[in-house]
Chain A
Amino acid sequence: MKRCVWVVVCLACLAGQGCASIYKPPQPWERDILAQDKMQLGGDPVETGIDDKIYFSKESSTLGRSIGGGGCGCN
């Protein structure tokens, strides 16, 4: 467990460093690309919603890309 936490911390640091180097905040009028449907974080919600349910049913980790949602007596 400790090793996992360290891996996550290291990844977060690397991610933070990486993010800092590419951080060039766009002006409000430069957000046309970010407003496109295909730039939606989480992807296609209909697709990822189904994926969350499949993997929730077949694996033991709870919560995926969102919280809440209907439970099921999944087999």
Chain B
Amino acid sequence: MQLKKNLSIKEALAVATCSLLSQTPQDALATAAEGDWDFDVSVLNYQEASRVRVVEWDMKSKWQYKDDSALSFSIISDSMTGSTPSGAAKVPVPRSDTLSSASGIKVASDVGEAAGKYLASLTSFVDRRNGFVVDWENVFSRTITTNLTGSYSVETDYDSLGLAGSAGVDLNNKLTRVEAALSWGWDTVSPNLQDGPPPEGAIVGGNGISTPAYEDGHKLILDKGLVVTQILNRTTLTKFAYTNRRADGYLSDPYKLVTVKNDISGLPKSYYYEKRPNSRSGDNLTWELRHQMAGGSVFDGFYRFYWDDWKISSHTLDLRYRIDVGKSQYVQLHGRYYTQSAADFYTPSLTEEQQQNLPQYMSADYRLDQLATTTIGFKYGFNFSQFGHFRIRYEQMAQKGTDGDYTQLNAKILQAIVSMKFGR
């Protein structure tokens, strides 16, 4: 009887130990532990004050197999409307600066005496983006996993094709995980302009756009990454990562202009399409720490340092604090601060003197300016069953640039997500 009892305890311990030993740091990070089939639906409403609005639907379905390998399929659908700064300078006369049209550069139509003379400083657009992502996680051995991802998205004027692969190995009794990743992307830019994509740096002539036909622009994007995840103690994890992105090809924004201003009046004299270098290499160092406190609250801190050969460098600090409310609900506070330096070819406008000797590269895109972004947010989550999880978050983003006509951007982010686990 005693022997039987001991055997039973041994068996139980063996099962428990095997079960625990089969857990990798990847398991500790995984969400799909309990179901054969996970399903997520998310809807986002992103609204800028008087500018861009994006409504995005994401659906993801994930099948988990017995050996912990998994296949997932995601569908993304965006609807984008609104207006965005074109780079054309604001004209200080009563006028409607914004036009309703498809993506592209349009001549301002309601400028009183100046009708047709100046280009709109805000161009409106309507576009839709549809895409899908297929992901295959494969458990190669007890300590090695691989991942392969394919993605494709299409907009009226932009296609993106991507392929990414990674391999990770668990070391140090599965306390450390080292992962290497590679990604290849091929994007096609086909702007919605009358005569096709503009040659970068070309002058915008007369009262409208006159450019020769031009083949679609392409860009090749290669990402490399090395990630180290470390379990520090029973309640703390940390992750260090280095990533690099190299992009080559048509890196200009085909809708963005640079304005030459009259030295005396300050009014626009002429416009050029922007021109950016045809290559860019950017590096990231990131550090993340996640810690669970005694009461079950979770703190997450993320820091990123970025620098590239366009002379942009940035710092990002992202903090989240989750507080459990009872057994099935929680709230999460979120704060993010970002600051970047300007690209070395950023210029809000050009002088007549600069026009005589045009810079090799030039852009008035406000996103290349020296700027800072602050975001604060609140999230509420609710486990409505053992296998169902709903959460909703609201965030406010405020961005402030340094130099240009549109230096202030405020946006509201509202996202709702439902996740379900089925099977087992």
Binding site for B on A (CB under 8 A): 1, 4, 7-8, 11-12, 15, 19, 22-26, 28-31, 33-47, 49-50, 54-55, 58-65, 67-73, 75
Contact = CB atoms under 8 A, between A and B. Distances in A.
User: Chain A interface secondary structure, helix, strand, loop or mixed?
Assistant: loop
Given A34-B25, A71-B160, 14 more contacts: A4-B305, A25-B173, A46-B417, A47-B417, A50-B58, A60-B312, A61-B306, A63-B282, A67-B223, A69-B162, A69-B164, A70-B160, A71-B219, A73-B157
A60 B338 contact: no
B374 to A, nearest CB: 12
Contact of A55 (B30, B307, B373, B391): B373
CB-based closest 6 A-B pairs: A68-B183, A73-B158, A68-B164, A67-B223, A71-B160, A75-B84
B61 interface: no
15 contacts: A4-B315, A24-B232, A28-B173, A38-B292, A38-B330, A39-B292, A41-B237, A49-B58, A59-B314, A61-B282, A61-B338, A62-B245, A64-B304, A69-B164, A71-B221
A45 B31 contact: yes
User: Chain B interface secondary structure, helix, strand, loop or mixed?
Assistant: strand
Given A25-B175, A43-B300, A69 B151 contact: yes
Interface residues of B, number: 114
A7 B307 CA distance: 13
Q: Which of B20, B33, B127, B368 has the most CB of A within 10 A?
A: B20
B367 A29 contact: no
Contacts of A37: 31, 33
Nearest to A45: B31
A36 B420 CA distance: 16
Given A62-B282, A63-B243, A39 B237 contact: yes
Contacts of A33: 234-235, 292
A70 B285 contact: no
Contacts of B46: 54
Contact of A61 (B44, B255, B284): B284
Contacts of B221: 71
B338 A59 contact: yes
Contact of A59 (B16, B52, B185, B340): B340
A5 to B, nearest CB: 8
A28 B233 contact: no
A37 B127 CA distance: 36
